[in-house]
A and B are shown apart, each in its own frame.
Chain A
Amino acid sequence: MDARITLRVDGRDRSLTVDTRTTLLDALRDHLSVTSPKKGCDHGQCGACTVLLDGRRVVSCLTFAVAHDGADVTTAEGLAEGGEPHPVQRAFLEQDGFQCGFCTPGQICSAVGMLEEVKAGHPSHVTDDLTGPVTLDDEEIRERLSGNLCRCGAYVNIVAALREEADS
């Protein structure tokens, strides 16, 4: 069964016809050729498909595109406005926060979404004082980015990249 939907992807309105079974991830990749979100597991267990959906980080593989008619989607490609890397992307470059690069767009979208959550005062599993302000130390960064697996083992450098962001 097909449905006609419109998505705003990386700042552009895109209309498309999707099978109701098409996930947001497949809509982006197969229908719109937006391939920066990656399919690492297709079951919400790796985070490679992370995008910002209406500003919040989500895994795009576990949601159907048809449920997001009218939504705003930002991918790692869209974070680089005019091709200029986003500060988080620059920090990844500086700290060598990736190797094969496959999980990287998801890591970056996740990191950008995470920084917003911190700004909003959201606690995490490792926050000592649930009612106090949140300080983004290394332990917090690690926990908050644990939804993005990296098999190359770039975590140490990813944390270093986000530490720069946390300090700035």
Chain B
Amino acid sequence: MSDLTRMTATKLAGLIKGGDVSAVEVATAHLDRIEAVDPQVHAFLHVDREGALAAAAEVDAGDKSSPLAGVPIAVKDVMATKGVPTTAASKILEGWRPPYDATIVERLRAAGTVMLGKTNMDEFAMGSSTEYSAYGPTNNPWDLGRIPGGSGGGSAASLAAYEAPLAIGTDTGGSIRQPGAVTGTVGAKPTYGGTSRYGLIAFSSSLDTPGPCARNVADAALLHSVIAGHDPRDSTSIAQPVPDVVAAAKRGSEGDLTGVKLGLVKEFAGDGSEPGVLAAFRESLDALVKLGAEVVEVSCPHFQYALPAYYLIAPSECSSNLARFDGVRYGLRTGDDGNRSLEEVMSLTREAGFGPEVKRRIILGTYALSSGYYDAYYGQAQKVRTLITRDFESAFEQVDVLVSPTTPFVAFPFGSRTSDPYQMYLADLFTIPTNLYGGPAISVPCGLSEGLPVGFQVMAPTMADDRMYRVAAALESAVGTFTPPAL
């Protein structure tokens, strides 16, 4: 294997800038690696060799001033990429080539990154294992018989398999962080509104947040700084300066957390984490205390209702957002035999194009929004969302960040949670509260349990993304990074 695929994005950028290696060589090394290992991993739904080499050649011929010029990147297939297939891992969008770029993709291109291709995911980002992808699951590079997390399992697995040094994910209930945790990689969910949703195929608009995935905290921060910031094309984009996450990660890596207060959520304690996950988490907590941090127990009494609130709010928004897939303007159309009505064709198209989890959520959301149930379900969930936000605000009056395991269990074997959808939902128990609140959170590898990676989650106040990077980088400096067995 070429050494180039083992390097961090920061290192690659430096080598390219210094003329030690060309962007084309770096792209070629990663494309060759994908060709060699992706038949086993299946992290990619589409590899754009031609586009990647052209973009790399352009960097070699021109401007290398951007901090990520020439660095390859994998993009979750939920982001619109002009002329490059974009399916959201659904049959309903098979073969669709968007006529425009998402804002984040536009910024990645402007920064001179080299897009290798589009990564696998649960269909429309609904799931925690990639088992709901219409194109087959992604296999975890740590153990090919286990899930890589979801929905962004392809992005996380592409990093762990050394197919890409950076990737883009999206996090609605944990879809960046949980895959990061179970693949031993770093995944950050920025403050909601801190990264643009323009061109992101919508699942739950009040929660969807694009963010960076990387193999270490400094790379994640660098990617964060390139993609974040106000976008007038997204009406919920925050018009404020992006916190200096790169400086925060650098400061954290110096390993001094003197005076930093870490909040341990009392209500998370009894929530069925595997013993190995808890052990790795507690050891990491001790490591942070050795760096000078102080641990304070805080109470967030409404966190226990976060999962129910999420599974009413997200399906409700999805049932509305996915109404656009009607077989008229793009994507699949089925059953148009010249005799059937528009409504019949629509129903047949959606039946053929959507997979089971998407259908379940559309039906659940339609139920929660229907008259007679609206107040008891959707309305009540929105009120509970207020109470969860207040829990966060009051906790952040006492501590700087909240910490927890990212997910209660390590990568599970395929098929073990698909028959009972609610068992799958439990994977997001610790990640969902942050989405309802809107603040930033990051998952950083903190140890192994039975040979599989465990993630440590740091949650910070809204627009204090820098704070989570500092703590995550400090932890990384203490516990190191984790390398999967060779493929």
Judge: A and B partners, yes or no: no
